[in-house]
Amino acid sequence: MKSPNFYGAGFPYRDIQQLPGKLIVLEGTDGVGRSTQIKLLRRWLEDEGYAVSDTGLTRSTLTASGLEAAKSGHTLGPLTLSLFYLADFADRLENLIIPALQAGFIVLSDRYFYSVMARDAIRGVDKSWSRQLYGIALRPDLILYMKADVPVLAQRLIHGRGLNYWEAGMDLHLADNMYDSFLTYQNLLTKEFDELALTYNFVTVDANQKSDAIFEDLKTHILELLHNRLTKTKKPR
């Protein structure tokens, strides 16, 4: 078992002794296929006998509807929207992620706070301020950065669910049409993610590949994590 390891102060009012579970984060730009891989990984891990929980941005029951309404109405500035996302994250961390880890679950997170930091940085939010805000966050056991070329992302979305206002960064007025805005915005996001990858020790996975190849790469890194845990906890003969 491991003691909780936070980026900052964490939750000082809570006495969290041990977290026997594992927190695995999938990060990456829009359209990279995180949600698909989360479903595949959960099914695989459960078939292997692990207890699994999954979570993702805006899934807090306290904030989800309010965040969606704020985004739809374009009613919040960058700082206020950032704090709204922080409330979503804090609620899920305290009431879902930590309890699941305490119970020994593997928690799969579709994005973590890194996506919010990347989006905020493009919109002019101070990076050091963001890092301080997310001092409440647990350090994940593994952060898998699914990285794909922006033209690949565009084609996947066009032939899938389509482009949307926020994924194209239309609020930033980067171009006069959604497609060109998407390309510019996602390139900016990729640069932010690359910087975060160095700061927070992401493991990069080539997401230009087909889904089954991406899945195999993700499995390899997760198996290495789980094997290391078993090796460390195995008693010597």
Q: What is this structure's pTM?
A: 0.92
Contact 7, 139 (CB under 8 A): yes
Q: Is residue 72 part of a domain?
A: yes
Dihedral angle sign, alpha carbons of residues 146, 152, 157, 159? negative
Q: Is residue 44 part of a domain?
A: yes
Q: Is residue 195 part of a domain?
A: yes
Q: Is the pLDDT at 141 greater than 50, yes or no? A: yes
DSSP state of 29: S
Tokens of 208: 């230009």
Banded pLDDT at 212 (limits 50, 70, 90): very high
Residue 64's domain spans which residues? 22-233
The DSSP-derived string for 62-93 is TTHHHHHHHHHHT---HHHHHHHHHHHHHHHI
Q: Is residue 189 part of a domain?
A: yes
CATH of residue 150: 3.40.50.300
Q: Is the pLDDT at 233 greater than 70, yes or no? A: no
In the chain, the number of structural domains is 1
pLDDT, position 69: 80
Summarize pLDDT for 113-130 with one digit per residue, the tens.
999 999 999 999 999 999
3-state secondary structure of 195: helix
**Distance, CA of 16 to CA of 3 (rounded, Å):** 8
Residues ≥6 apart with Cβ < 8 Å to 75: 69
